Amino acid sequence: MLVIYDTHARQKREFVPLNPNEVRMYVCGMTVYDRCHIGHARVMVVFDMVTRYLRERGYQVTYVRNITDIDDKIIARAAQNKESIQALTERFITAMHDDAAALGCQPPDLEPRATESVDDMVTMIQTLIDRGHAYRADNGDVYFDVSTFDRYGELSGRHLEDLRAGARVEVDEAKSDPLDFVLWKAAKPGDPSWPAPFGSGRPGWHIECSAMSTRALGNHFDIHGGGQDLQFPHHENEIAQSECATGCHYVNYWMHNGFVRINEEKMSKSLGNFFTVAEVMARYHPEVIRFFILNSHYRSPLNYSEQNLDAARTSLTRWYTALKDAPVGGQPIEAVLSNFHEVMCDDFNTPEALALVFEQITELNRLKTSEQADERARAADHAATLQAMGRILNLGQGDAEAFLRWAPESAAGNGLDDAAIEQKIAERTAARKNKDFATSDRIRDELQAAGVILEDSAGVTTWRRG
């Protein structure tokens, strides 16, 4: 039985899809005005893992993740760069796709863009106006009337009175209530705009996801996901406008991944304390970043530090080292896989799943070096089990030697590319053959100082980066 923690219910619930063996899931995507940071990477990796595991369980999954390609920040950044909005967004959409692929994430099944969905947003806004849930203010903006939805605040557990007391109204806003939120922004000179019955303009942020999710998945679907920071007000507003426009219950399960934190603060672009995925991938193999993300439960805070990334690299190095010379042809051990699925079915508990993975690594290392033939033969089954678990998480599936020899960009230009290392190993091999052990030891020490570890076995020297 698969259970998922539902943010709305504030508890784990048995997962029962609306249609048997079919899952419809929508995840809030990126606003493409800059490179993705590690917080975005967490969203991509977490919901890639969720999608992969649901498919492993036999579900037909439709995974939708939107792209916000029109927004105040996008308009401001394009103006700052003196480039068109389309040029800016296309550049960062390409970069986002590159980052996601490097992190081992499959593309979503559908990736609607806000600018391609404006007609759906206009239709939804007009429906809200017609039903008395929205109004056009004196400044031409259209607002959602929060007072018309009596369940507002349920998702985040907030009360209208408390929200109203802490609400701020911008000088240029003309809304009737501080909690009302904008659905449509009236056209301004120089800004992109679209025609609408209630006046030319462009959509507010919240309406985008309601229009795109219901267009792709229907008025009522299974899972809606995103970062914890979107719970309020974005997802709260989505529920209100969607249910008022459609008359249907919007989402059955709300999933929110935890913050990425650095120095006890949430990592974000707005705080200026973020690391882009590209910056981190310049120092760490992309799979190390994926391991680092999955080694924490998706709902827990993820503490970014070089120490934690170094630990992830060490763990993944151990994983690939175990596989590098592991025997093949074995069969996965059903009892181990059963335990793996048991912890994954408990709200996608990847830390516990990885603990089981490393139990297999320990056993594989013991068996493949055993002096007893029957134990060495069993090693192939443990290797197959390790591969089966790794396939579900999309970890440990690459070429072991390529991973172990990967070097960060900072190592470029120091003379220690693969060819240089191979040359030094050849010189060391020649020195050993000539019994020049002083030269042999000097070369080993030089390589070790440069982070290259040599392993001699059966007259053959292999290497990896430490």
Which residues define the annotated binding site for ATP? 269
Handedness of CA 191, 194, 200, 204 (dihedral sign): negative
Can you state the angle between helices 373-393 and 350-368, rounded to 10 degrees?
150
Work out whether strand 221-227 and strand 22-27 pair parallel, antiparallel, or are unpaired.
Answer: parallel
Handedness of CA 392, 224, 257, 348 (dihedral sign): negative
Region label for 2, one of left (φ > 0), alpha (ψ between -120 and 50) or beta (otherwise): beta
For 241-263, b/e burial (b = at least 16 CB within 10 A) is bbbbbbeeebbbbbbbbbbbbbe
Tokens describing residue 104: 């081992």
Q: Is 402 exposed, middle or buried (0-12, 13-18, 19+ CB in 10 A)?
A: exposed
Are 285 and 57 in contact, with CB atoms under 8 Å apart? no
Tokens describing residue 98: 């590159």
- Written as one letter, the residue type at 67 is I
Tokens describing residue 57: 């369980």
Cα gap 432→438, rounded to integer Å: 9
List % helix, strand, coil for the chain (3-state, nearest 5): 50, 15, 35
**Residue 321 to residues 294, 330, 376, 450: CA-CA distances in angstroms?**
20, 18, 17, 19
Cα gap 390→410, rounded to integer Å: 29
Cα gap 352→339, rounded to integer Å: 10
Name the binding residues. Answer: 28, 209, 234, 238, 269
Torsion angle of the four alpha carbons 245, 125, 229, 33, in this order, in degrees rounded to the nearest 10? 150
Cα gap 465→62, rounded to integer Å: 40
Name the binding residues for Zn(2+). Answer: 28, 209, 234, 238
Q: How many CB atoms lie within 10 A of CB 318?
A: 14
Q: How far is CA 400 from the centre of its chain?
A: 24
Cα gap 46→28, rounded to integer Å: 12
